[in-house]
Amino acid sequence: MPHRPVSALSLLRGFIDSNPFYLISACCMLGGCLALTNSLSWMSVPIPRLLILIGTLSVLTAIYGPTPPQMQSAAQRGWSWSMQAVYEFIPKTSDQWGALAVSAAFAFLALGAAVSLRRQPPKLEQLAPPGPD
């Protein structure tokens, strides 16, 4: 197998096709837009300010964002990864199904206990039988 030299153009193309900084870039753009619109509080953003923020993000994403083939590739990779992760959690043997059943029983028991403990106790007037009037 002959050794092919790696050119700067192929390195650049590889970096463009799998740029790991898109998420960081998107977070920075969102933070910058939030700072520009003065929306860094926990209060809800007014509708006009929110529309300005969404428009700014859309323009910046169109200018600096990934290309449609990159987004398609990322979506396909994410889908295949999530399907593989789901497949790993599906029980395949009777022991795994038994462990799932016992875990589910304890989860429902904990849920029932939480609901029961959050319930308000009845008032004393409701517990006392009505007396002769």
pLDDT tens digits along 78-133: 889 889 988 888 899 999 999 999 999 999 999 999 998 887 776 766 666 666 65
pTM attached to this predicted model: 0.37
pLDDT at 61: 75
**Packing angle between helix 47-64 and helix 22-36, nearest 10 degrees?**
150
Checking if the pLDDT of 54 tops 70, the result is yes
